[in-house]
Structure 1
Amino acid sequence: MVKESKGVDILIVDDEPRMRHILRIILEEAGYSVKEAANGLEALGIISRHPCGVVFTDLKMEGMDGVELLRRIKETNPETPVVVLTAFGSIESAVEAMHEGALDYITKPFEEEKILITAERSLKFYRLAEENRNLKEAISSSFDFSNIVTNSPAMLNVLKEAALVSKSSQTTILLTGESGTGKELLARTIHYNSARRNGKFVAFNCAALSPGLVESELFGHEKGAFTGADRRKIGKFEVANGGTIFLDEIADLSLEAQAKVLRVIQEREFERVGGTESIKVDVRLIAATNQDLKKKVEKGEFREDLYYRINVFPLHLPPLRERKEDIILLAEFFMKRFKNELGRPEAYLTEEAKRILLQQKWPGNVRELENAIERAMILSPNGLIDKNQLSFLSSDKEENIKSGTEIDLTAGGIDLEALEKSLVMKALEITNNNQSAAARLLGLTRSKLRSRLKNLQKS
Structure 2
Amino acid sequence: MARILIVDDEEKIRYLLSIMIGRRAHLVDQAKDGAEALEMVSSTPYDMVITDMKMPRLDGTGLLKQIMLLDIPCPVVFITAFATVESAVEAMRMGAADYLTKPFEEESVLLTVERTLKLSRIMAENRDLKKQLDNGACASKMIFESKVMSDIIDLAAKVGKSDSAILISGESGTGKELLAKYIHGQSLRSHKRFVPLNCAAISPNLVESELFGYEKGAFTGANKRSIGKFEYASGGTLFLDEIGDLPLDAQAKLLRALQEKKIQRVGGNAEIPVDVRIVCATHQDLDGLVEKNRFRRDLYYRINVFPLSPPPLRERKEDIPALAVHFLKESFNGNDVVLTDGAKRLLAQYPWPGNVRELANAIERAVILEENNAITAQTLSFLKKAHGPGENEGDYKLPPDGVCLQTLETDIVRQALDMAGQNQTVAAKMLGLTRAKFRVLMKRD
Normalised TM-score (structure 1): 0.59
Q: 1:162 to 1:279 in 2, by over 3 A?
A: same
Paired residues for 1:351-390 under 5 Å:
351-390=341-380
Paired residues for 1:439-458 under 5 Å:
none
Do the aligned partners of 2:236 and 2:277 also contact (CA within 8 Å) in 1? Answer: yes
Q: 1:203 to 1:87 in 2, by over 3 A?
A: closer
Give the equivalent residue in structure 2 for 1:293: 286
Q: Does 1:244 align with 2:244?
A: no
Q: 2:108 aligns with which of 53, 76, 94?
A: 94
SS in 1 for 2:226: coil
Give the equivalent residue in structure 2 for 1:167: 161
Tell me the alpha carbon deviations over residues 224-243 of structure 1, each in whole angstroms, 9 at most, x when there is no partner. 32232222221111111111
Q: 1:214 to 1:386 in 2, by over 3 A?
A: same
Letter in 1 for 2:357: R
Letter in 1 for 2:150: L
Distance 1:285 1:197 in 2: 13
Q: 2:251 aligns with which of 255, 258, 261?
A: 258
Q: 1:85 to 1:399 in 2, by over 3 A?
A: closer
Do the aligned partners of 1:84 and 1:94 also contact (CA within 8 Å) in 2? Answer: no
Tell me the alpha carbon deviations over residues 141-166 of structure 1, each in whole angstroms, 9 at most, x when there is no partner. 2133x641111111111111110111
Give the equivalent residue in structure 1 for 2:303: 310
Distance 1:86 1:295 in 2: 62
Q: Does 1:179 align with 2:172?
A: yes
Do the aligned partners of 2:314 and 2:351 also contact (CA within 8 Å) in 1? Answer: yes
Paired residues for 1:16-415 under 5 Å:
91-102=105-116, 132=127, 135-144=130-139, 147-168=141-162, 170-338=163-331, 342-344=332-334, 346-394=336-384, 397-398=387-388
| Structure 1 spans left out of the alignment, 5+ residues | 1-80, 105-123, 404-459
Letter in 2 for 1:100: E
Tell me the alpha carbon deviations over residues 276-305 of structure 1, each in whole angstroms, 9 at most, x when there is no partner. 221110000000000110000000000000
Distance 1:212 1:401 in 2: 44
Letter in 2 for 1:389: T
Q: 1:349 to 1:93 in 2, by over 3 A?
A: same
- Offset at residue 182 of structure 1 (A): 0.7
Letter in 2 for 1:226: F
- Offset at residue 196 of structure 1 (A): 0.7
Distance 1:87 1:374 in 2: 60
| Structure 2 spans left out of the alignment, 5+ residues | 1-94, 394-445
Distance 2:204 2:233 in 1: 21
SS in 2 for 1:300: coil
Letter in 2 for 1:160: D
SS in 1 for 2:195: strand
- Offset at residue 128 of structure 1 (A): 6.7
SS in 2 for 1:387: coil
Distance 1:230 1:99 in 2: 30
Distance 2:278 2:309 in 1: 16
Distance 1:269 1:103 in 2: 26
User: Aligned-pair RMSD on alpha carbons?
Assistant: 3.2
Seq. identity, %: 52
Do the aligned partners of 1:345 and 1:382 also contact (CA within 8 Å) in 2? Answer: no
Distance 1:245 1:314 in 2: 16
Tell me the alpha carbon deviations over residues 77-104 of structure 1, each in whole angstroms, 9 at most, x when there is no partner. xxxx9x8999999954433323434469
SS in 1 for 2:384: coil
Distance 2:239 2:164 in 1: 13
Distance 2:390 2:108 in 1: 77
Letter in 1 for 2:134: I
- Offset at residue 309 of structure 1 (A): 0.3
- Offset at residue 127 of structure 1 (A): 10
Distance 1:249 1:84 in 2: 46
Letter in 2 for 1:135: K
Distance 1:100 1:155 in 2: 49
Distance 1:127 1:275 in 2: 33
SS in 2 for 1:213: helix
Do the aligned partners of 2:161 and 2:186 also contact (CA within 8 Å) in 1? Answer: yes
- Offset at residue 133 of structure 1 (A): 5.4
Distance 2:334 2:291 in 1: 52
SS in 2 for 1:288: strand
Distance 1:90 1:204 in 2: 45
- Offset at residue 131 of structure 1 (A): 6.2
Q: 1:270 to 1:103 in 2, by over 3 A?
A: closer
Distance 1:215 1:87 in 2: 44
Do the aligned partners of 1:344 and 1:382 also contact (CA within 8 Å) in 2? Answer: no
- Offset at residue 134 of structure 1 (A): 5.2
Distance 1:287 1:85 in 2: 46
Q: 1:262 to 1:374 in 2, by over 3 A?
A: same
Do the aligned partners of 1:215 and 1:273 also contact (CA within 8 Å) in 2? Answer: yes
Give the equivalent residue in structure 2 for 1:434: none
